[in-house]
Amino acid sequence: MWDVRTFNQPSNINHQQSLLRALSVSVVKLLFLFCCAASAAGGQILIEAEGFDHAGGWVVDQQFMDQMGSPMLLAHGMGVPVEDAVTTVTIPAGQYRVWVRTRNWVPTSNGIDAPGRFQLFLDGAPLQAAFGTQGADWHWQDGGSVEIKRDKVQLALHDLTGFDGRCDAVAFMSDLSAKPPEGDVLAARRRSEKPQDAGQFDLVVVGGGMAGTCTAISAARLGLKVALVHDRPVLGGNNSSEVRVHLNGQINLPPYPRVGDVVRELDSGNQGNAQAAAFYNDQKKLRVVRDEPNIDLFLNTHAYAVEKQGDSIGAVIAKNIRTSKDSRFVAPLFVDCTGDGTVGFLAGADYRMGRESWQETGETLAPQEPDKMTMGASTQWYTVETLKPTAFPECPWALPFTEASCERATRGDWNWETGLNKDQIADFESIRDHALRAVYGNWAFLKNHSKDKERYAHRQLSWVAYVAGKRESRRLLGDVILSQQDVQEQKAYPDAMVTTTWSIDLHYPDPKNTEHFPGQEFKTICKTPAIKPYAIPYRCLYSRNIENLFMAGRDISVTHVALGTVRVMRTGGMMGEVVGMAASICKNRSTTPRGVFVEHLAELKELAARGVGKR
Cα–Cα nearest to 479, from 534, 537, 535: 537
Residue 1: what pLDDT?
27
- What's the pLDDT band for 39 if we cut at 50, 70, 90? very low
Structure confidence by residue, pLDDT tens digits, 149-189: 988 999 999 999 999 999 999 999 999 999 999 998 898 87
Angle at 200 between CA 196 and CA 205, to 5 degrees: 90
Least confident segment among 34-43, 160-169, 190-199, 563-572: 34-43
Is-contact 33 74, C-beta < 8 A? Answer: no
Mean pLDDT along residues 198-211: 97
Cα–Cα nearest to 497, from 590, 601, 592: 601
Map residue 397 onto helix, strand or coil: coil
Residue 191: what pLDDT?
74
CA 49 – CA 73 distance, rounded (Å): 6
Sorted by sequence, the CB contacts under 8 Å of residue 466 that are 6+ apart come out as 59, 61, 74, 76, 164, 379, 432, 436
Residue 10: what pLDDT?
29
Sorted by sequence, the CB contacts under 8 Å of residue 615 that are 6+ apart come out as none
Mean pLDDT along residues 361-369: 97
- What's the pLDDT band for 297 if we cut at 50, 70, 90? very high
Residue 194: what pLDDT?
87
Res 366 pLDDT > 50: yes
Sorted by sequence, the CB contacts under 8 Å of residue 278 that are 6+ apart come out as 241
Mean pLDDT along residues 302-330: 95
CA 36 – CA 58 distance, rounded (Å): 29
Residue 192: what pLDDT?
65
What average pLDDT is seen over the chain?
A: 92
Residue 483: what pLDDT?
98
- What's the pLDDT band for 601 if we cut at 50, 70, 90? very high
Mean pLDDT along residues 379-407: 97
Rg (CA), the chain: 25
Distance, CA of 599 to chain centre = 36
pTM for this prediction: 0.92
Which DSSP string corresponds to 477-544?
Answer: --S--B-HHHHHTT---TTEEEEE-S---EEEE-HHHHHHSTT---BEEEE------EEEEGGGSB-S
Buried b (16+ CB within 10 A) or exposed e, 428-465: bbbbbbbbbbbbbbbbbbbbeebeeeeebeebbbebbb
Amino acid (one-letter) located at 608:
A
Q: What does the H/E/C string look like for 98-166?
A: EEEEECCCCCCCCHHHCCCCEEEEECCEECCCCECCCCCCCEEEEEEEEEECCCEEEEEEEECCCEEEE
Residue 19: what pLDDT?
34
Mean pLDDT along residues 328-335: 98
Beta strands at 203-206 and 333-336: parallel, antiparallel or unpaired: parallel
Domains identified in the chain and CATH numbers: 4-189 (2.60.120.260), 196-357+545-610 (3.50.50.60), 377-469 (no CATH)
Mean pLDDT along residues 586-594: 98
| CA end-to-end span of the chain | 44
Residue 21: what pLDDT?
34
Mean pLDDT along residues 59-86: 97
Amino acid (one-letter) located at 471:
R
Structure confidence by residue, pLDDT tens digits, 215-228: 999 999 999 999 99
Is-contact 383 464, C-beta < 8 A? Answer: no
- What's the pLDDT band for 466 if we cut at 50, 70, 90? very high
Burial of residue 370 (number of CB atoms within 10 Å: 0-12, 13-18, 19+) = middle
Cα–Cα nearest to 554, from 608, 500, 615: 500
CA 563 – CA 482 distance, rounded (Å): 8
Percent of the chain residues past pLDDT 90, beyond the cut: 89
- What's the pLDDT band for 258 if we cut at 50, 70, 90? very high
Structure confidence by residue, pLDDT tens digits, 99-149: 999 999 998 887 889 999 999 999 999 999 999 999 999 999 999 999 999
Residue 22 vs residues 11, 67, 329, 506: alpha-carbon distances, Å: 16, 18, 17, 39
Residue 615: what pLDDT?
66
Amino acid (one-letter) located at 45:
I
Map residue 331 onto helix, strand or coil: coil
Q: Give the E-state strand segments of 26-69 in sequence order.
A: 33-34, 44-48, 59-61
Is-contact 342 425, C-beta < 8 A? Answer: no
Phi first, then psi: give them for residue 556, nearest 5 degrees.
-80, 180
- What's the pLDDT band for 324 if we cut at 50, 70, 90? confident
- Of residues 189 and 585, more confidence is placed in 585
Residue ranges of alpha helices (H) inside 403-489 are: 428-448, 484-488
- Of residues 375 and 38, more confidence is placed in 375
Least confident segment among 27-36, 184-193, 245-254, 417-426: 27-36
Structure confidence by residue, pLDDT tens digits, 501-554: 999 999 999 999 999 999 999 999 999 999 999 999 999 999 999 999 999 999
